[in-house]
Amino acid sequence: MVEHKRPNIHAISADRNEYERSKTLLDNSLKEVLDDKKISQALQENSIEKFRGVKRVYIASDHCDIRKKYSKEMENLGKVRDLDGNIINGFSTLASIIIDENKKDVTLAEVTVFSNREERFVSQEELKLYEKKKIEDEVPLEGIKQELKKLKS
């Protein structure tokens, strides 16, 4: 629209499909949202099929931050470190890959995006207090118990 200096989507769309894609993007009716849980489930299902019968694979996981230095308002926008060690806005991820040593092949197996601003987030300090049985308030104590139970199942 900016390039063509016209506000009419139909006038700048190459065909009906492009018009529909632009329209749903702009009118807020987009039905699908990127969901890391759906993506991870699809990746895991693909990995199960791909590595069926393979005798040995290696799995590597890596924690990484998505830095959103200039973002101010996003759902559960948390805090992460930038490359200089400063605290800025962002999200954290945990990604896992599967390495097939025979084919010398790497496959993305899972991606989880999380924020330290989510209600269910448990900090290292809270976890240490929980382990030492020093959390007196029942609300966070119950929340930590539930999150640990989910991890173990």
Q: Please, which residues bridge with residue 79 across strands?
A: 89
Query: Do residues 89 and 106 both lie within one domain?
Result: yes
Per-residue confidence (pLDDT) for residue 61, from 0 to 100: 93
d(CA 46, CA 48): 6
Per-residue confidence (pLDDT) for residue 103, from 0 to 100: 82
Question: How many domains does the chain divide into?
Answer: 3
Query: Do residues 2 and 22 both lie within one domain?
Result: yes
Query: Do residues 51 and 76 both lie within one domain?
Result: yes
- Mean pLDDT, consecutive 10-residue stretches, the chain (153 aa), reads 50 73 66 69 84 88 89 85 91 89 85 81 75 68 71 67
Query: Do residues 78 and 145 both lie within one domain?
Result: no
Q: Is residue 80 classed exposed, middle or buried when 0-12, 13-18 and 19+ CB atoms within 10 A define those classes?
A: buried
Query: Which residue range forms the structural domain that includes residue 145?
Result: 122-153
Per-residue confidence (pLDDT) for residue 60, from 0 to 100: 93
Per-residue confidence (pLDDT) for residue 33, from 0 to 100: 56
DSSP secondary structure string, 85-113?
S-EEEEEEEEEEEEEETTTTEEEEEEEEE
Query: Do residues 54 and 105 both lie within one domain?
Result: yes
Nearest to 90 by CA among 72, 66, 70: 66
Query: Do residues 52 and 101 both lie within one domain?
Result: yes
Query: Do residues 2 and 73 both lie within one domain?
Result: no
d(CA 129, CA 143): 13
